[in-house]
A and B are shown apart, each in its own frame.
Chain A
């Protein structure tokens, strides 16, 4: 196991900067998720760490040693590919043992080791099958076994669960979490699924357009998203963002928007600074912090009902504020919600997030 360091790494493809001046540290034994929409540079970052792409500029270190221009085989890393990349002409035993074969281990030993790992992953009984003769979930575990069969400094995952169906994905996610607890491996895990990142990571790097927008623990990212982009990307459903007009009245921050009733918020220096730049702020409230409230109450949003989806343990209630500006509430009840045509959703002041006109978070009092 080893630490990983990116120092001002940039990767350009012609004019396009896939990764722009990215720097971060990953500690020994950390499980870091690179999270972001497609094209944000997360896979390119991972491939540079693997040595499959060369940075245009900057340095990459593994365990304190510079590896920027080292061939992948000399980095002592393991990687699970999105398409699994199982060799179609080799049976599972040979597939899993391949890394040991190139390390010069004799057949009996490497097949023994492969069987051990395969048994842990519950594919030990399939060792003489070809990859085309096993199911998708088994293929996924085979590719995982091939990565785990030798001790690597860093384990890389490139969206390893995205080809699985929903149920298998949950199962595999739980297993990876267990594995991480068991082995304490240093891992970099690329995904566009925020739930996967939240569940697995010790820290998440949220990426957008080649930059890291926020690099923090899952809890921190959930509680204090650094920008509206992060707020809108993490959470299921994501945070509700309402564009509001802010002004200082009698030492309090007063927010105005169609259908919004909110008590004046305590002013801070940060809010003052944001207001001098622009009065256009964004108010954020997570769906799980919204509830059904009485019409006319303070700290509420009132709008016509758009959808009322019962999911079993919870209901998703969506209201439409016009121009597709919708607000969704997650209401934890297994009862059917009987709602009128116009719904009032309430929240408490402590769950309010504020973002300035550039979309950056305005720290709340005491942050």
Chain B
């Protein structure tokens, strides 16, 4: 195709503008990549000179911060297992069975999902967890997140399962499988990409959350990384940029690795919750 000169100039102007906007968004990320390796990192963007791993050494010397990463891991994995298992079973039932009013149930769930783990419900959650004697435990955080994420997870999965023909399970049952066998042999493997989406989404949510663990946990030894980041602030409240940058990079790695793993293994097929 031959471009006319005005169209050609227009293309160049558009590309330049897009590149500029892209650069603006890329700068913080560049900072995020450079600062951890810079012994004198500040808030300005600068190439490390020399490149050093000293910041990481210091961070790993902070046992509280390292323990916090492990805590984040326990809470995220625990929550994700609970959400993944419960949402799969619940969404399957909502999609396949003929419970009257199941449509209403689904939408009410969706409505509540933003409430449970939201800040509006903080006081009741605090009171419930306190009354249950679960204050300052991983379980408190895991259960709260499971409750908060489950409705949306169910909604996403139900939509996903709705789009899978019933004839898979039907053919299995006609061939002699019980409903349970049909679910595990046929339905579950077919639903798996949907479950993976929910699991990744749940993991990212829990891994990155601050408010709930901050409120439900007391002792330093239980705090997740999102809270532990505050140990890299001086007592006056100013950040120690070098350590903060190094810790942030470590903190973000699991999510990136998870994303890459899933996208390599399953291919990312994100399914929206709303059908056309």
Which residues of A approach B to under 8 Å, CB–CB?
50-52, 71-73, 75-79, 81-83, 85, 87-89, 98-99, 101-103, 143, 146, 150, 156
Contacts and interface: CB of A to CB of B under 8 A. Distances in A.
Interface of B: 165, 167-168, 170-178, 181, 185-186, 189-190
A82 B189 CA distance: 21
Given A72-B170, A85-B170, A98 B175 contact: yes
A81 B167 contact: yes
Contacts of A50: 170, 174
Nearest to B175: A99
Contacts, number: 66
Contacts of A78: 174-175
Contacts of B167: 81-83, 85
Given A83-B165, A98-B185, A71 B173 contact: yes
Most chain-A Cβ atoms within 10 A of its Cβ — which of B172, B173, B190?
B173
A83 B171 CA distance: 11
A87 B170 contact: no
B189 A98 contact: no
Contacts of A102: 172, 175-177, 181, 185
10 tightest Cβ-Cβ pairs between the two chains A and B: A99-B175, A85-B167, A85-B171, A89-B189, A72-B173, A79-B174, A102-B177, A102-B176, A81-B167, A72-B174
Contacts of A156: 174
Contacts of B190: 87-89
A103 B171 CA distance: 14
Contact of A73 (B165, B176, B186, B189): B176
A85 B165 contact: yes
Given A98-B185, A102-B181, A87 B168 contact: yes
Contacts of B175: 73, 78, 98-99, 102, 146, 150
A346 to B, nearest CB: 50
6 contacts: A73-B173, A81-B167, A81-B171, A82-B167, A85-B168, A143-B171
B114 to A, nearest CB: 34
Contacts of A82: 167
Given A102-B176, A150-B176, 14 more contacts: A51-B174, A71-B173, A71-B178, A76-B176, A81-B167, A87-B172, A87-B186, A87-B189, A87-B190, A89-B190, A98-B185, A99-B175, A99-B176, A103-B176
